[in-house]
Structure 1
Amino acid sequence: MAATTPSKALLRSGIGVACAGVGALLAVAVSDLGKADQIASVAGAVLALAGIGLSLWAQFGSRGQAPVEASGTRSVAAGGSIGVVVTGDGRQPVAPPAMPAGGPTASGPVTASGDRSVAAGGDIGSVSTGDA
Structure 2
Amino acid sequence: MATQTQGRSKALLWSGAGVGVVGIGALIAVAVADLGTADQLASVIGAVLAAVGLGLTLWGQFGGATAPAPAPAAPAAPVVTASGTGSVAAGGNIGSVGTGSGTSPAPGPAAPAPAPARPAPAPGSVTASGDRSVAAGGDIGSVSTGDA
Scaled by the length of structure 2, the TM-score of the pair is 0.45
Q: TM-score, normalised by structure 1?
A: 0.50
